[in-house]
Amino acid sequence: MNLMRWNEAEDGPLNEAAMRKKLQDMGYSVSRYVYPPGTCFSPHTHGVDKIDGVLAGRFRMAMDGGEVVLGAGDMLEVPRGVVHSAEVVGNAPVVSLDAVKY
């Protein structure tokens, strides 16, 4: 799994505009989603390369036999065709930037 973490020294303070710009500069189209506690996505795939970025909350993602809990500033690459699942962890909603490679 390719997990990227926000680096304030390089990227500046973490906020939605800054993460959106970073993802767009990497060649991604970005959409914002808010997932309430209890949200769960069963194993699935996408036909595009994606990055899931978290601005707030905790998001557990499983892929390639591994698992990681994303927190604020974490971004995880999800290659096309790779089976993965996700779920909101805890009682706070997840604010996520869903980036799709164009």
pLDDT digits (tens, 9 = 90+) for 72-92: 999 999 999 999 999 999 999
We report the CATH number of the domain holding residue 62 as: 2.60.120.10
Average pLDDT over residues 29-41: 98
Q: Record the tokens describing residue 7, joined without a space.
A: 């680096």
d(CA 82, CA 90): 26
pLDDT band at 53 (very low <50, low <70, confident <90, very high): very high
Residue-averaged pLDDT of the chain? 97
3-state SS, one letter per residue, for the chain: CCEEECCHHHHCCCCHHHHHHHHHHCCEEEEEEEECCCCEEEEECCCCCEEEEEEECEEEEEECCEEEEECCCEEEEECCCCCEEEEEECCCCEEEEEEEEC
Q: Which domain range does residue 94 map to?
A: 3-101
Number of structural domains in the chain? 1
